[in-house]
């Protein structure tokens, strides 16, 4: 798929969530629609850089969900336009960029933690522990900026922002206070490692909310559990505002289309 001249962010990849209702009469009159959609998805992902997750939506907010991500925003827009000629009526969309958290632990933070929490004082051991930590952090940052999404059975997406009113103004807190609170919030998320894949993407200045949150899990109960537990963390309980939630069942593209009434 040629989106024209590439448009790439200086950091991170573009992420496009698209939600559609199937136009049933138009679909019945256009038996080749599903094949065109599949061709568009195949062309979009053919370069190995760009990815698509397709899912049938539970509930009536949409029939079909398409999550597309990759470095070239022009390619993302070209996919959006290719889908527009199918019998799919847009119900919602969301635009964001992958990003590395500004609250990520620094080497100085980890050095201080090793001394305070684990009593590590020997310089050689400190260096060895920091080398291992640095390798993990490099992998973590790469996964945040350039994720390769694994195959999971269910997906949930919602946008969110931080409050900025009265005593609950997140942006009136010092950076140190925000970083401390986010560290506790992250510990909750790490408790779901292996059960839930979390992708937090930034949308300040790009879409209506400040972040988009995509959760992927084989067990749909895990989607509920992680959000429920995080609601009790102060970052969410006091400072977070949430947009609409959309949940779906992830399929291969042809199966996702079949589930919503478009058969190739």
Computed over every residue of the chain, the mean pLDDT equals 93
pLDDT confidence band for 240 (50 / 70 / 90): very high
List pLDDT tens digits, range 22-46.
999 998 889 899 999 999 999 999 9
Alpha-carbon torsion, ordered 136, 138, 53, 160, to 10 deg: 90
What token pair was written down for 256?
A: 């996702």
| β-pair partners for 157 | 214, 246
Q: Cα(156)–Cα(202) distance, rounded to whole angstroms?
A: 17
Which of 3.10.20.30, 3.40.720.10, 3.30.70.1030, 3.30.930.10 would CATH assign to domain 14-99+251-259? Answer: 3.30.70.1030
Decide if 12 contacts 141 (C-beta within 8 A).
no
List pLDDT tens digits, range 150-184.
999 999 999 999 999 999 999 999 999 999 999 88
Average the pLDDT over each of 2-6, 189-193, 226-230 and give the range with the smallest value. Answer: 2-6
What mean pLDDT is predicted for residues 90-98? 98
Decide if 241 contacts 44 (C-beta within 8 A).
no
Task: Provide the whole-model pTM.
Answer: 0.91
| Residue 261 in this model has a pLDDT that exceeds 90 | yes
Q: Which run of H or E residues covers position 90?
A: strand 88-98
Assign 173 to helix, strand or coil. coil
CA atoms within 13 A on the CB side of 106: 8
pLDDT confidence band for 226 (50 / 70 / 90): very high
In the block, tokens 């992958």 appear at 98
Name which residue leads in pLDDT, 253 or 184: 253
Decide if 254 contacts 38 (C-beta within 8 A).
yes
Q: What is the residue extent of each domain of the chain?
A: 14-99+251-259
pLDDT confidence band for 54 (50 / 70 / 90): very high
What is the separation, in whole angstroms, between the first and last Cα of the chain? Answer: 20
Phi-psi region of 252 (alpha: psi -120 to 50; beta: other; left: phi over 0): beta
Q: What does the pLDDT read at residue 136?
A: 86
| Residue 3 in this model has a pLDDT that exceeds 80 | no
| Residue 4 in this model has a pLDDT that exceeds 80 | no
Q: What does the pLDDT read at residue 134?
A: 85
Q: What does the pLDDT read at residue 233?
A: 92
Q: Which residues are the active-site residues? A: 158
Name which residue leads in pLDDT, 137 or 20: 20
DSSP single-letter state for residue 245:
-
| Residue 204 in this model has a pLDDT that exceeds 80 | yes
DSSP sequence for 4-59:
SS----SSS-EEEEEEEEE-HHHHHT-TTHHHHHHHHHHHHHTTSS-EEEEEEESS
| Residue 66 in this model has a pLDDT that exceeds 90 | yes
Decide if 8 contacts 71 (C-beta within 8 A).
yes
Smallest Cα–Cα separation from 77: which of 88, 68, 85?
Answer: 68
């Amino acid at each position: 798929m040629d989106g024209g001249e590439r448009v790439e962010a200086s950091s991170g990849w573009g992420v496009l969530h698209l939600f559609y209702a199937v136009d049933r009469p138009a679909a019945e009159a256009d038996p080749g629609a599903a094949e065109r959609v599949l061709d568009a998805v195949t062309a979009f992902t053919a370069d190995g850089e760009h990815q698509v997750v397709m899912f049938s939506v539970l509930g009536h907010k949409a029939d079909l969900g398409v999550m597309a991500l990759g470095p070239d925003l022009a390619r993302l827009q070209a996919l959006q336009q290719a889908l527009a000629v199918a019998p799919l009526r847009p119900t919602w969309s969301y635009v964001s960029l992958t990003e590395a958290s500004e609250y990520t632990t620094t080497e100085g933070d980890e050095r201080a933690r090793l001394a305070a929490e684990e009593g590590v004082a020997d310089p050689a051991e400190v260096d060895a522990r920091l080398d291992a930590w640095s390798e993990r952090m490099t992998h973590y940052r790469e996964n945040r900026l350039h994720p390769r999404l694994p195959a999971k059975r269910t997906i949930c997406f919602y946008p969110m922002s931080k409050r900025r009113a009265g005593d609950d103004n997140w942006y009136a807190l010092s950076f140190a206070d925000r970083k401390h609170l986010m560290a506790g919030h992250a510990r909750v998320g790490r408790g779901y490692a292996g059960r839930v894949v979390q992708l937090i993407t930034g949308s300040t200045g790009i879409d209506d909310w400040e972040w988009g949150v995509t959760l992927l899990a084989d067990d749909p109960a895990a989607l509920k559990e992680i959000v429920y537990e995080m609601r009790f963390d102060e970052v969410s309980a006091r400072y977070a505002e949430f947009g609409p939630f959309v949940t779906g069942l992830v399929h291969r593209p042809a199966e996702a289309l079949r589930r919503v009434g478009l058969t190739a």
